[in-house]
Structure 1
C-alpha cells in the first residue's frame, strides 16, 4: 500500500485603490499644491531612464545569447536574460513607493539556504519570473517612452513659466518665442500663463501615467489572487503551528517546574515519614511505603510525558542525538544512520523528531517488525529522512496512525510525507523537509 499523506479558504484581500488617482479626485487646488506632482514627475523621470536602460540591457543580452549560441555559451546568456526581470521587478517594487504607499508583496518563494543550482531551477519554474520579464519589456517600451514625453512637456512648460525671469536676466531681444523676440517681461506674461497651464497638465499626465504603471505593476509584479490565497493560508498555518509549539513548551515548563517538583517534594516527605515509622509496627508504615512507590511511579510517568512533549536533548544537541536517544528506548532494535552538516532550523528538527517517534511507535504496535532503520541526510538544502521496518506491511496512513497530523505540520514547512507499505513489507516512511522553509 503506497500513500502520500498531505484547506482553508481565506478571503482574498480587496483590490487596492491607487493612491495617486485618489489624490487627483480631491480637486485641482489640493492636488496641484501638494507634493503629488513632484512625486509623479520624479517617478516618471526616473522610470524613463531606468526603463530605457533595462530595455537596452535586455535586448543586448538576447542578442549576445543568440550570437554566442554558436560557441555553446549562448544558452547561459539567454538564461540570464530570462532572469533579468527579477532585479528589475525588485527595483520597481521599491521605486513604486514614490507614488504608492502600500508596498507590493514579493511573489517569489523564499529560498534561504538553498544552493545555486536549486535556486536557479526554482526561479525558472516560477510564473512570477516570466511576469517580471514581461513587465520589463512593457516598462521599457511603453512607460519609458511615455515618461520621456511627459518630461519633455514639463521642460517646455517650465521654460515658458520662467520666461519673465529669463527676459529680465538675459539681454533684451535674446529670448525668442515662435521666432519672435520677447523684449519685455510684460510680453512674457502670456507665455508664462500658458506655461503654468502646461505645468498643471504635465502634473495630471504624470499622475495618470504613474497610476497606470501602478496597476500594471500590481498585475505583473505581485502575487495573483490564487497565490495570495496560498501565501495567506501558509502564513495562517504557520502562525497556528507557532502558537501550538509555544503552548506545548509552556505546558512542558509548567509540568517540569510545577507538578514534577511537587511530586519530588511529596516523595521526599513520604520517605521521611517512612523513616519515622520504620520499626514502629504501625499499620500506617506499609501504606506510606506503598504511597512512596506510587509517587515515584507517577514522577517517572510525568518525566516521560515531559520528555515526549519536547525532549531537552533535541534542544541541546540536535536531531541526530535526539533520535539516537529515542532509539534506545524502543522495544525493537533500531539502527540510526543520520549524518547532518550541523544544526538544522528548530522547526525542521522538531517535525523530523516527532516523525521518527511516531513511526517507531507505529512499528512497535502494528508491524510485527524485528528491526528498524532510521536514515537521514541533507540533500540540496532538503532534509531527507527515511524510517524502514521489516514488518508485515499493509499500513494505511489514513487509519488514524497519527501520520496525517505530522504531514499537515510538514506541509507548513513545504515538506511532504510519503508512506510505502505493500502487504508483506517492508514499510518505508519518507519525509522531505526543505531546510530553507
Structure 2
C-alpha cells in the first residue's frame, strides 16, 4: 500500500535527448526544436531581468546595511533563488514532460521568522541561489547568443523577401557585399536553412544540458531523500519497539496484578462457601458463592489466555518453533508444524512471525472450513520464510478485515512482505518473508 515516487535527477532520461537519439534525421521537422528554441528564448529574456534585479538589491542592501535596513534587503537576495528556482522548474515543463519536484521541506505554520529560518537552513536554498547567479551571468548569455544566431539564420532564410521589399534600395546581408535582387539572395537562404538545421540540433543539446543542470541544482537530492527515508525507518522501528515494550508492560501488569487478584478472590470465595456450609448447611447463599467462585475461575482462565496471547512466555524462553508448536496443540484443527531454524531470530522478527502465524490459524479456524493446516518455516538468503497452508474452501479476501492488514503493516516496517493466495475452492496459502538482519 505504499506509494512510489520517482525522483527527477540527472540519471533520468531527458525527453528531448531521447527524441533526438530515437529519430535524429526526423527530429528537426518535429515540434521538439520549436520547444527548445522557446525555452532558450525565454532564458534570454528572463536572464538579464534577473541580473538587473539582483544587482539593484545588492547595491541597495550594501548601501543601507549601515542603518540596518540593508540587512533585510540582503536577506531577500539570499532567498531570491527560491522564486527563481520555482520559475525555472515551471519553465522546464515546456521541454520536459516529467516535472522536477521542489527540493524544499514543507514550511512550518508558526510565523514568518520560523519560515525564513527554515529556508535559510536548507542546502537547497543555497543551491538555488547559486543557480540564480549562474543563470544571470552565464546561462542567459548563452541563451542570448543562441537567440541571436537563430534570428540571424531566420533573417537569411527570408532574405529574398527582404531584398524584394526594399528594392530598388541596395541590401548588404554581409558587410561589404551587396545583394543584387531577390535571386542573388537565394544562396543566403540556403545558408540560413543550413543554420536553422544546425540550430535544431544545437538547441536540443543546450536544452538537454539545461534540464540536467536544473535537476541537479533545483531538484531534490537522492541522498537527502535517502536520509529522510532512513530516519523514517528508524522512527517506525522505534515505534515498534515502544509498542512491544507496552505489550510486555500490559502482560506483566495483568499477570502480577489482575491475575493474582482473581486468584485471591477465588480463594476467598472458597473459604466463604466452606464457612457457610458449616454454619447454614444448604443455605441458598452457598450455591451463589459457589457460582461466583466458578465465574472467577472462568475469568482467571480467560485472563491467562489473554496474557498468553499478548506475548507468550514460551516465545521468550524457547523461540518461534516452540511457541508455534504450543499454539498448534491447542488449535481445533490438526496443525502440522515444520519450522527448522538454525538460531534464534531477532526479537521483532520473532514476535511478528509468531503473531502472523497465530492470526492465520485463527482465520483458518473461523472461516476456511479446513481439515488440516501446515506451517513451514525456513531461513533462505538471510530471510525468514514462513508459509501457512490450509485445505479449506478458499476465497479469502485479505482486505476484508483488519487482522492481516495490520500484520502486513508490521511486516512492512521490518522491510518484509506478506503474500496471500486464496483461489475459490482452496487452498489458502499465506507466505511471509522478513529479513533477519537490520
TM-score (ref. length: structure 2): 0.51
**Could you report, residue by residue, the CA deviation over 1:123-143 in whole angstroms, capped at 9, with x for unpaired residues?**
111111111111001111111
Which position in structure 2 is the counterpart of 1:63?
59
Q: Provide the C-alpha distance between the structure 1 equivalents of 2:102 and 2:163, rounded to a whole number of angstroms.
A: 52
| Preserved contact between residue 167 and residue 175 of structure 1 (Cα < 8 Å) | yes
Q: Provide the C-alpha distance between the structure 1 equivalents of 2:8 and 2:32, rounded to a whole number of angstroms.
A: 30
Task: Say whether 1:189 aligns with 2:186.
Answer: yes
Task: Say whether 1:123 aligns with 2:119.
Answer: yes
Which position in structure 1 is the counterpart of 2:211?
214
Change (3 A) 1:231 1:94: farther
| Preserved contact between residue 164 and residue 181 of structure 2 (Cα < 8 Å) | no
Task: Describe the SS at the equivalent of 1:70.
Answer: helix
Change (3 A) 1:60 1:202: same
Change (3 A) 1:166 1:297: farther
| Preserved contact between residue 108 and residue 115 of structure 2 (Cα < 8 Å) | no
Aligned partner (choices 223, 226, 231) of residue 229 of structure 1: 226
Which position in structure 1 is the counterpart of 2:196?
199
**Could you report, residue by residue, the CA deviation over 1:26-70 in whole angstroms, capped at 9, with x for unpaired residues?**
344221011111111111111122122112111211111110012
Give 1:347-362 correspondences, 5 Å limit.
none
Give 1:15-34 correspondences, 5 Å limit.
15-34=11-30
Task: Describe the SS at the equivalent of 1:180.
Answer: strand
| Preserved contact between residue 12 and residue 229 of structure 1 (Cα < 8 Å) | no
Which position in structure 2 is the counterpart of 1:180?
178
Q: State the 1:181 CA deviation.
A: 3.1
Aligned partner (choices 43, 49, 63) of residue 47 of structure 1: 43
Task: Describe the SS at the equivalent of 1:107.
Answer: coil
Which structure 1 segments of 5+ residues have no match? 1-9, 243-280, 301-408, 410-437
* Bigger helix share: 2
Q: State the 1:290 CA deviation.
A: 7.7
Give 1:263-274 correspondences, 5 Å limit.
none
Change (3 A) 1:26 1:43: same
Change (3 A) 1:289 1:217: same
Q: Provide the C-alpha distance between the structure 1 equivalents of 2:135 and 2:7, rounded to a whole number of angstroms.
A: 31
RMSD: 4.1
Change (3 A) 1:191 1:72: same
Q: Provide the C-alpha distance between the structure 2 equivalents of 1:176 and 1:12, rounded to a whole number of angstroms.
A: 49
Q: Provide the C-alpha distance between the structure 1 equivalents of 2:88 and 2:203, rounded to a whole number of angstroms.
A: 17
Which structure 2 segments of 5+ residues have no match? 1-5, 240-283, 304-412, 414-438
Give 1:27-426 correspondences, 5 Å limit.
27-178=23-174, 179-184=177-182, 186-233=183-230
| Preserved contact between residue 167 and residue 183 of structure 1 (Cα < 8 Å) | yes
Q: State the 1:240 CA deviation.
A: 10
Q: State the 1:286 CA deviation.
A: 8.6
